[in-house]
Amino acid sequence: MEGLQTYGTDFSEFGRRFAGWLGLYSTDAEALLQIIYAEQGGAPLSPARLAERIHLTSGATTSLLNRLESAGFVSRTREQSDRRVVTLRSEQSVHDRADEFFDPLGVSIDAVMSNYSPEMLEEFEKFMGELHATMQTRLGEV
């Protein structure tokens, strides 16, 4: 558990430094990453869903999205037949900046992972998935 806690701390620190590198508040960068992750997963977020994920009120989320939109990092689109539904999309400029910031880390992580067999990495991925599910269940109970 200590190793996972240390990893979590390091992961958070990378997020904080990414925010500073982009000139954003930490919460804005967290929101931006949530928007990107959701897009990559094939389920783009609405402003309401983003607010749930980052635990902000709708008003605070609107202010945050205004800042990200003014910076050219996100756009709000109406893609569904119900034109009232707003979808958040990240702009290519932020992907380019994120790649510039995170690619060196990705190369280093790839090098570490190459030391382990695909079977071992599959088991680790399964373990992490189960740990995540356990934590989500507990968070739902608290």
What pLDDT was estimated at residue 83?
66
Cβ-contact 49, 56 below 8 angstroms: no
Instruction: Walk me through the domains of the chain, giving residue ranges and CATH numbers.
Output: 2-141 (1.10.10.10)
Residue 27: which of 16, 38, 11 has the closest Cα?
A: 16
What's the pLDDT at 110? Answer: 96
Query: What pLDDT sits at residue 84?
Result: 72
> With the CA atoms of 130, 31, 72 and 82 taken in that order, what torsion angle do they form, in degrees rounded to the nearest 10?
80
Mean pLDDT per 10-residue segment, the chain (142 residues): 91 92 93 94 93 94 96 88 82 92 96 97 95 92 86
- Of 97, 56, 92, 49, whose CA–CA distance to 74 is shortest? 92
Report in angstroms the alpha-carbon separations of 14 from 26, 29, 53, 76.
11, 11, 19, 26
Contact 36, 90 (CB under 8 A): yes
The pLDDT score that the predictor gives to residue 78 is 87
State residue 23 phi and psi, 5-degree precision: 75, 30
Q: What is the pLDDT of residue 65?
A: 96
CA separation for the pair 95, 39 (Å, rounded): 12
Question: Please, are residues 34 and 54 in contact by the beta-carbon 8 Å criterion?
Answer: yes
